[in-house]
């Protein structure tokens, strides 16, 4: 499933293409997609395909096409502080993007059938936290993953503000999925070959919207052949953050505000000179001969010497403009992690600095 947009050379170009095709429509979703490089969730030998709008599967590891994930993210209408349940959480790619929006006071849980995929997801999550250049731009709601069949979730589990199921849901399981939602919550899932958004508007009231046609592998039914008993899946408890953790969040937030104020002061209330773009000249061509023949139209242009001279002058003007606007350096400066620099410059003991930076490697 996928192929709705052209391939990109890198993650940013892929996101540009998704925006142009209107799969990504909001700033929050765009920021989350740009912050996490899709290629980081591929095995090394398959990374050449990471920026194509295609699904990828290797063994039990699976990623949906970027156009599907962007439609899901938009449909979930995510906001800071919400609770999210990802059924069939897979590599954790989607859960990590959601965590960037939920922020430090959200809830981010995933259920995955295959234990080897859970281990893979944990490795990718650890890699993102320790190495990503974009991590410090957000306050992250770290996902928690549990192994089990998502059709066997314990009936006494808490309900969620947002739920996504990454496998095809049979009609007989629709009510089961709906009951995982709080009133006012949103469920997005593939139902009867359609990506479907269901909003719970009351205890027994629902609004349903079909988003687009999709093709997903169906949910795997529970297998009780061995013991004859259901293996209930117990979701992680909703933990209360420690005072130490709350202090770290507050300090980082204060430092970010200071950096923002300094940037605004340095740039004059944050207003920068707009970038200068080369004005493209439009060459108007005059059609001077039109022939109608068997319902087809043929148009030809008769050129004259003055036209050719004008074209040469326009080309020369364009070349001069390109030379004037050409940057002095071919490569932009690497992004600066201002939060990290500010923390490391503080008159604090090193262990406290490293704690504020989540013991990140860079």
Q: Give the pLDDT of residue 279.
A: 40
Q: Which residue has the higher pLDDT, 351 or 266?
A: 351
Q: Give the pLDDT of residue 335.
A: 75
Long-range Cβ contact pairs of 169-178 (< 8 A, separation 24 or more): 169/218, 169/219, 170/218, 170/219, 173/219, 176/151, 177/87, 178/206
pLDDT grade for 286, boundaries at 50, 70 and 90: very low
pLDDT grade for 21, boundaries at 50, 70 and 90: very high
**In order of start, what are the domains of the chain with their CATH numbers?**
70-222+229-239 (3.40.50.150), 241-263+338-361 (no CATH)
Would you say residue 264 has pLDDT above 70? Answer: yes
Q: Give the pLDDT of residue 223.
A: 80
Q: Give the pLDDT of residue 230.
A: 66
pLDDT grade for 320, boundaries at 50, 70 and 90: low
Q: Report yes or no: 50 and 75 within 8 Å, Cβ to Cβ.
A: no
Pairing of strands 61-63, 56-58: antiparallel
Catalytic residue IDs = 64
pLDDT grade for 167, boundaries at 50, 70 and 90: very high
> What is the per-residue pLDDT across 192-244, written as a single tens digit (0 to 9) for each?
999 999 999 999 999 999 999 999 999 999 886 655 566 899 999 888 889 99
pLDDT grade for 176, boundaries at 50, 70 and 90: very high
Q: Give the pLDDT of residue 175.
A: 96
> What is the per-residue pLDDT across 301-315, written as a single tens digit (0 to 9) for each?
434 444 455 555 555
């Amino acid at each position: 499933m996928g192929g709705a947009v052209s391939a990109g050379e890198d993650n940013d170009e892929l996101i540009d293409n998704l925006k142009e095709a209107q799969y990504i429509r909001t700033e929050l979703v765009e920021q989350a997609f740009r912050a996490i490089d899709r290629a980081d969730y591929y095995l090394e030998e398959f990374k050449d395909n990471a920026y194509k709008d295609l699904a990828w599967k290797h063994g039990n590891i699976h990623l949906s096409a970027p156009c599907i994930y962007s439609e899901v993210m938009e449909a979930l209408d995510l906001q800071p502080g919400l609770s999210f349940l990802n059924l069939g959480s897979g590599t954790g790619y989607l859960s990590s993007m959601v965590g960037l929006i939920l922020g430090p006071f959200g809830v981010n849980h995933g259920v995955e059938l295959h234990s080897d995929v859970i281990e893979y997801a944990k490795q990718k999550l650890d890699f993102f936290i320790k190495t990503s250049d974009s991590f410090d731009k957000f306050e992250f709601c770290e996902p928690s993953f549990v192994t089990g069949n998502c059709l066997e979730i314990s009936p006494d589990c808490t309900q969620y503000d947002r739920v996504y199921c990454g496998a095809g849901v049979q009609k007989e399981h629709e009510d089961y999925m709906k009951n995982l939602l709080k009133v006012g919550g949103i469920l997005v899932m593939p139902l009867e070959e359609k990506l479907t958004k269901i909003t719970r508007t009351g205890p027994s009231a629902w609004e349903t919207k079909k988003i687009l046609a999709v093709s997903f592998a169906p949910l795997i039914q529970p297998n009780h052949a061995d013991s004859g008993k259901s293996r209930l899946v117990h979701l992680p408890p909703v933990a209360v953050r420690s005072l130490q953790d709350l202090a770290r969040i507050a300090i980082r937030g204060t430092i970010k505000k200071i950096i923002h104020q300094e940037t605004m002061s340095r740039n004059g209330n944050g207003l920068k000179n707009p970038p200068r773009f080369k004005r493209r000249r439009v060459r108007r061509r005059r059609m001077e001969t039109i022939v109608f023949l068997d319902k087809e139209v043929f148009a030809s242009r008769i050129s004259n010497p003055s036209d050719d001279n004008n074209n040469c002058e326009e080309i020369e003007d364009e070349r001069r403009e390109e030379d004037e606007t050409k940057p002095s350096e071919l490569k932009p400066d690497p992004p600066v992690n201002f939060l990290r620099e500010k923390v490391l410059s503080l008159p604090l003991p090193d262990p406290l600095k490293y704690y504020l930076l989540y013991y990140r490697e860079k």
